[in-house]
Amino acid sequence: MKRSSHLHRFLRDEDGAVTVDWVVLTAAVAFICIAVGLALRPALADLTGDTNGVMLAYDIETEFEE
């Protein structure tokens, strides 16, 4: 009789189900973040290249005149 109560309690316990829910939710968020990063990568590469070109076009003097 004691074994059946342990089995019954084990089958009614939902802590493991909550853990599975959190694992699935975390995996979905990670997948979305990776997908967004891959989608934005070409645009960000163009932006950094354009920014580099503008910064290289500036003539910066490194010596002060008296």
Residue 10 lies in a domain: no
pLDDT digits (tens, 9 = 90+) for 10-55: 777 767 777 888 999 999 999 999 999 999 999 999 999 999 999 9
Residue 62 lies in a domain: no
- Is residue 1 scored above 60 in pLDDT? no
Residue 64 lies in a domain: no
DSSP letter at 63 equals S
Residue 40 lies in a domain: yes
Where is pLDDT greater, at 46 or 5?
46
Q: How many domains does the chain have?
A: 1
Query: Which phi and psi (to 5°) does residue 55 adopt?
Result: -70, -35
Residue 41 lies in a domain: yes
24: tokens are 């699935």
Q: How far apart are CA 28 and CA 10, in angstroms?
A: 28
Residue 32 lies in a domain: yes
Query: What residue has token string 């003539």?
Result: 59
Residue 31 lies in a domain: yes
Q: pLDDT at position 66, please?
A: 63
Q: How far apart are CA 46 and CA 52, in angstroms?
A: 10
Residue 4 lies in a domain: no
Residue numbers of the domain that contains 26: 19-45
Q: How far apart are CA 15 and CA 26, in angstroms?
A: 17
Q: pLDDT at position 17, please?
A: 74
